[in-house]
């Protein structure tokens, strides 16, 4: 009888790893109450995928940004935070004390894409960032 051969342990392919990284990042963003930056994304994703590194977070973000599954939010200091794409237009609130970002379901009257402003400027979209103190910082008097 021929000896049994074993194929050896299943190796985790790059595709599977990438998928898990993608899922972890998407889950973290789904649970977030506002846009978060790559560092915070890393911290929260590590709870699901220990050993995850910042370079991997950026590598995973790129195709998600290309596909608009995730959209960037530009911050006043020039840095970037991220949130899920495909959402209703909404504004953000930046706490000037702790730096946290919150989604705000308030904003200017919605300008549908294609709206023409004076001067023949055609609107693609809008972004609005409120500044102030969040509830926690206000309560702690900072």
The site for Zn ion (CB under 5 A) is made up of: 95, 97-98, 134, 137
Q: How many CB atoms lie within 10 A of CB 30?
A: 9
Q: Which is nearer to Zn ion, 64 or 134 (CB)?
A: 134
Instruction: Pick between residue 49 and residue 137 the one whose CB is nearest to Zn ion.
Output: 137
Quick one: 38 or 137, whose CB is closer to Zn ion? 137
List strands edge to edge, sheet with 36-37.
36-37, 80-84, 70-74
DSSP 123: P
> Distance between CA 98 and CA 67 in Å, rounded?
31
> In this structure, what token pair is assigned to residue 29?
């963003």
The least distance separating Zn ion from the CB of residue 86, rounded to whole angstroms, comes to 28
**Which of 74, 56, 69 is CA-nearest to residue 30?**
69
Smallest distance, Zn ion to C-beta of residue 132, A: 9
Pick 69 or 137: Cβ nearer Zn ion: 137
Rounded to a whole number of angstroms, the minimum distance from the CB of residue 64 to Zn ion is: 28
Check residue 37 and report its DSSP letter. Answer: E
CB of 130 to Zn ion, least distance (A): 13
């Amino acid at each position: 009888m021929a000896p049994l051969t074993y194929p050896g342990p299943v190796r985790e392919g790059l595709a599977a790893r990438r998928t898990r990284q993608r899922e972890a990042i998407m889950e973290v963003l789904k649970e977030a109450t506002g846009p978060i930056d790559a560092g915070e994304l890393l911290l929260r994703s590590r709870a699901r995928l220990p050993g995850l590194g910042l370079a991997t977070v950026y590598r995973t973000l790129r195709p998600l940004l290309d596909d608009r599954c995730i959209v960037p939010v530009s911050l006043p200091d020039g840095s970037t935070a991220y949130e899920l794409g495909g959402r209703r237009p909404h504004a953000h609130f930046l706490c000037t004390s702790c730096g946290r970002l919150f989604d705000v379901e308030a904003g200017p009257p919605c300008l549908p894409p294609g709206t023409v402003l004076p001067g023949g400027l055609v609107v693609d979209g809008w972004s609005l960032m409120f500044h102030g103190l969040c509830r926690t910082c206000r309560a702690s008097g900072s």
